[in-house]
Structure 1
Amino acid sequence: MQRRRLLKLGLGAAVVIGVAGAGIALIKPGLVDGKLSPGSRELMRAVAVAVLGDLLPAGAARESALDAQLARLDQAVASLPAATRKELSDALGLLATAAGRYTLVGLSRPWGEAGPADIRQALDAMRLSSSNTRQQIYHALRDLNAIAFFTEPVNWQAAGYPGPRDI
């Protein structure tokens, strides 16, 4: 195979994958009525476990803390400008698909089945990627989870933050 033909084939495949991903994101958005869709909830729950790790309580309290985290994520998303919510919805919709998850994150298993170590490794690869798109998705996933977690004063102590000082 000649080099030129290989480049054309690669470019064509990238266009097809991009169009298919955009179509899937339109059919299955990441946000529904301004809140995380079921697929996005599974994705963000898995990322929260990987990003927050030991900051989350153990045992039965962990599930309750994750449910509260997802509720705070819905509130954080609702406070974003409409254009940002649209972009986030598109990204989450794409990441909720097998093709998007594998291509952009590098995870072969579904979000709910991947372990925290696998997700942390994939997030680190995104953070260090030469692709601006992958880096932006990494920052969105991590930052949204951190913002939602640390806006709750109850969580400050877990991070060793005593809270604001009286002036």
Structure 2
Amino acid sequence: MQRRRLLKLGIGAAVIIGVAGAGIALIKPGLVDGKLGPGAREVMRAAAQAVLSDLLPSGAARDAALQAQLARLDATIAGFPAATRKELSDALGLLGTAAGRYALVGLSIAWAQASTQDVQQALDAMRLSSSNTRQQVYHALRDLNVIAFFTEPANWQAAGYPGQREIP
């Protein structure tokens, strides 16, 4: 195969994937009425377990902590400008699909079935990827979860932060 033909094929595939991803995001948005939709909830729940794994309690308390995390994510996202919410909705909509999950995250297992270790490995691969898009998606998943988690003062001690000091 000649180099030009290979480049044309690559560009064509990228355009097709981009158009398909945009179409999917329009049909199945990540945010519904400004809150995480069902697919986005699965994405963010799996990401939360991977990113916050050591900070979350174990057992039955873990599920309650994850539900609280998703509620904090909804509240955090509600405070974003409309343009940012739109971009996030598109990205989460795409990540909620099998094709988007595999293309952007490299995860062949559905979010709900993936183990914490599977998601952690996928996120680490995204962090180290040469693709700026994959790195941006990684930072969005990680940063959103960390920001939402630490908006709750009860979670500060999990990171060794004793809380705010009084300034005399």
TM-score after normalising by structure 1: 0.97
* 1:73-131 deviation line (CA, Å, top 9, x unaligned): 00000000110000000000001111111011100011111111111111111111121
Matches within 5 A, 1:46-65: 46-65=46-65
Q: Residue 45 of structure 1 corresponds to which residue in structure 2?
A: 45
CA distance in 2, matches of 1:125, 1:62: 26
**Partners of 1:53 and 1:100 in 2: CA distance:** 24
- In the alignment, the residues of structure 2 paired with residue 42 and residue 165 of structure 1 have an alpha-carbon distance, to the nearest angstrom, of 37
- CA deviations on 1:119-159 (whole Å, 9 max, x unpaired) are 11111111111211111111111010001101101111111
In structure 2, what residue type is equivalent to 1:69? Q
Flag structure 2 segments of 5+ consecutive residues without an equivalent: none
* Structure 2 equivalent of residue 98 of structure 1: 98
Q: Which residue of 2 aligns with 1:114?
A: 114
Letter in 2 for 1:112: A
* Alignment match, 1:71: 71
Deviation at 1:7, TM superposition (A): 2.1
* Post-superposition offset of 1:62: 0.6
Distance 1:18 1:57 in 2: 39
Question: What's the counterpart of residue 165 of structure 1?
Answer: 165
What is aligned with 1:130? 130
The separation in 2 between residues aligned to 1:63 and 1:115, in whole angstroms, is 15
| Counterpart residue type for residue 161 of structure 1 | Y
Query: Secondary structure of the residue that 1:102 maps to in structure 2?
Result: helix
Give how far 1:3 is off.
Answer: 2.6
**RMSD value, Cα:** 0.9
Which moves more between the two structures, 10-19 or 84-93?
A: 10-19
Which residue type is aligned with residue 70 of structure 1?
Answer: L
Which amino acid in 1 is paired with 2:38? P
Superposed CA offset, 1:27-75 (max 9, x none): 0000000000000001000000000011101111110000000000000
Q: Hey, what does 1:35 align to over in structure 2? A: 35
Where structure 1 has 5 or more consecutive residues not aligned to the other structure, the ranges are none
Instruction: Using the aligned pairs only, state the percent identity.
Output: 80
Partner of 1:88: 88
TM-score (norm 2): 0.96
Instruction: Quote the residue 2:147 is aligned against.
Output: 147
Choose 12-21 or 27-36, whichever is displaced more: 12-21
